[in-house]
């Protein structure tokens, strides 16, 4: 880590960028496999607090995964309706259930099995989680020195929610797709990389990956902002006649919004109109809407005629998601659990926006001007100006985590938040940059951070195996 500190501001060496990728893949694979084995061991040594998970693949199905499996099932599980039968399940995007459906049939080669679905989807998520540190490294070297980038990627292997990276949850596929999209949108390297056709190809691929993130998590819609920035802000010479063709691609920048919009349209068509089938009508009246009993007369939910739509209403009603709804004394422990991630991240964002406030404001508010016309950059090597769109995205995501969402999910989402690992790496190397002779501070910080990451990795697996929070 001391070597990373000494080279944090050194120029990038493109020829050396690919060398650590194999090591990161192998280290991440070892970590993910160890996490899965520990999860199975801890599940064997204790009785789960919540018995709602199916019996056979139970260690792989905790919290939201139990809902995903029920949605994915082509038939009733333990007598419960399958698919989006319950209103509260409409808060989940279809990506993970689709993965479970495909895995349960071995890609269409066998009859669907819940155990095959759980294990197959877990393997797919594990492999997605293996690729994330390498993608983070490749993304980071577009903005930072290679050794600093390697340090950040190494730390990300120990993401504080390992269970979410090896079980059927949306976090690993979401992180894989998001990091790959950011890599395609990052500043290109080499003369050929900036060719117009290649830029268009990268943008189209990034838009498709952005849509994929929303298939797994609704917050993937925020990726549209990064795509718009790439089109309208990322022009060194500003707007001109030559840049007009870019505006033809603007509709494609909203690709991440399309899966969410289609999901809401489908939910409205399914839940806001009485079904013609008597059997489906009976099932929906007994299971889809809270407070109704079997055989009760069907009635459309309130959100069918409201302005919030299905997603916002269901999240607020069933999951207590909304502005400041989580800010209660009972949730203080969950805020404390997320603090080791959010506090360094907020500090890093604070430093970043204060490093060159005039330039950042100008670049954000005046996209039509060339980059050279909005002032000089005073950002340090640890606060690169090229990362500005990602910082904006991180700022919005962090605000949602703090004021709208269940704050503790920051532990799961940080696998897809590069700025978290840049913040950790910056915190480690900063003393060596300011006082090169002071090795004690670096060693202490490294020990503290690694101790927390390792201990929380183990603790979260113990808690997750027992069906205990944080979810």
Domain boundary, last residue among 303, 319, 335: 319
Q: Which domain holds residue 280?
A: 272-319
H or E element, residue 45: helix 19-45
Which of 20-29, 289-298, 433-442 shows the lowest per-residue confidence on average (mean pLDDT)? 289-298
The number of domains in the chain is 2
User: Number of C-alpha atoms within 13 angstroms, CB side, residue 202?
Assistant: 21
Q: In this predicted structure, what is the pLDDT of residue 17? A: 65
Same domain, 345 and 289: no
Same domain, 245 and 352: yes
Say if CB 165 and CB 172 are below 8 A apart.
Answer: yes
Distance CA 108, CA 30 (A): 30
Same domain, 315 and 448: no
SS3 content of the chain, % helix, strand, coil (to 5): 70, 0, 30
Say if CB 68 and CB 97 are below 8 A apart.
Answer: yes
Distance CA 150, CA 467 (A): 34
What are φ and ψ of residue 80, in 5° steps?
-90, 145
Same domain, 31 and 88: yes
Q: Which tens digit of pLDDT belongs to each residue from 102-138? A: 999 987 788 888 889 999 999 999 999 999 999 999 9
Q: Which distant-in-sequence residues (6+ apart) come within 8 Å of 72 by Cβ?
A: 96, 97, 98, 99, 100, 101, 104, 117
Q: Which tens digit of pLDDT belongs to each residue from 360-398? A: 998 899 887 776 655 545 557 788 988 999 999 999 999
Say if CB 428 and CB 446 are below 8 A apart.
Answer: yes
Is residue 177 a part of any domain in this protein? yes
Give this prediction's pTM.
Answer: 0.89
Same domain, 311 and 339: no
């Amino acid at each position: 880590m001391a070597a990373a500190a000494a080279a944090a501001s050194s120029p990038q060496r493109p020829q050396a960028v690919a060398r650590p990728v194999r090591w990161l893949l192998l280290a991440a694979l070892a970590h993910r496999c160890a996490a899965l084995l520990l999860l199975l061991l801890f599940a064997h040594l204790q009785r789960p607090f919540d018995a709602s998970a199916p019996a056979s693949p139970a260690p792989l199905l905790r919290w939201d995964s139990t809902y995903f499996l029920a949605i994915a099932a082509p038939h009733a599980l333990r007598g419960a309706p399958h698919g989006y039968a319950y209103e509260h399940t409409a808060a989940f995007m279809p990506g993970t259930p689709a993965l479970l459906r495909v895995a349960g049939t071995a890609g269409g080669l066998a009859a669907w099995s819940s155990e095959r679905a759980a294990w197959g989807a877990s393997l797919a998520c594990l492999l997605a989680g293996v690729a994330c540190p390498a993608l983070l490294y490749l993304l980071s070297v577009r903005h930072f020195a290679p050794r600093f980038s390697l340090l950040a990627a190494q730390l990300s292997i120990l993401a504080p929610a390992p269970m979410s990276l090896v079980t059927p949850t949306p976090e690993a596929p979401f992180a894989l797709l998001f990091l790959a999209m950011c890599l395609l949108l990052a500043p290109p390297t080499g003369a050929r990389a900036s060719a117009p056709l290649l830029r268009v190809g990268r943008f189209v691929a990034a838009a498709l990956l952005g849509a994929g993130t929303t298939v797994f998590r609704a917050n993937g819609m925020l990726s549209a902002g990064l795509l718009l920035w790439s089109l309208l802000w990322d022009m060194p010479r500003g707007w001109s006649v030559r840049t007009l063709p870019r505006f033809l691609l603007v509709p494609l920048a909203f690709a991440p919004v399309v899966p969410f919009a289609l999901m809401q349209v489908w939910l409205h068509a399914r839940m806001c109109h009485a079904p013609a089938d008597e059997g489906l009508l009976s099932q929906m009246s007994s299971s889809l809407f809270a407070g109704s009993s079997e055989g009760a007369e069907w009635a459309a939910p309130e959100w069918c005629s409201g302005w919030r739509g299905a997603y916002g209403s269901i999240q607020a009603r069933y999951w207590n998601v909304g502005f400041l709804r989580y800010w209660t004394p009972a949730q203080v422990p969950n805020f404390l659990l997320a603090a080791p991630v959010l506090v360094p991240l907020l500090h890093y964002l604070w430093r970043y926006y204060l490093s060159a406030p005039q330039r950042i404001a100008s670049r954000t508010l005046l996209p039509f001007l060339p980059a050279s016309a909005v002032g000089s950059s005073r950002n340090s090597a640890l606060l690169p100006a090229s990362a500005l769109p990602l910082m904006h995205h991180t700022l919005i995501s962090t605000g949602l985590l703090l004021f709208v969402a269940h704050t503790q999910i920051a532990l799961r989402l940080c696998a897809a938040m590069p700025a978290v690992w840049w913040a950790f790496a910056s915190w480690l190397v900063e003393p060596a940059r300011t006082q090169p002779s002071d090795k004690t501070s670096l060693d202490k910080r490294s020990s503290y951070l690694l101790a927390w990451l390792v201990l929380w990795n183990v603790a979260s697996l113990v808690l997750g195996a027992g069906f205990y929070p944080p979810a």
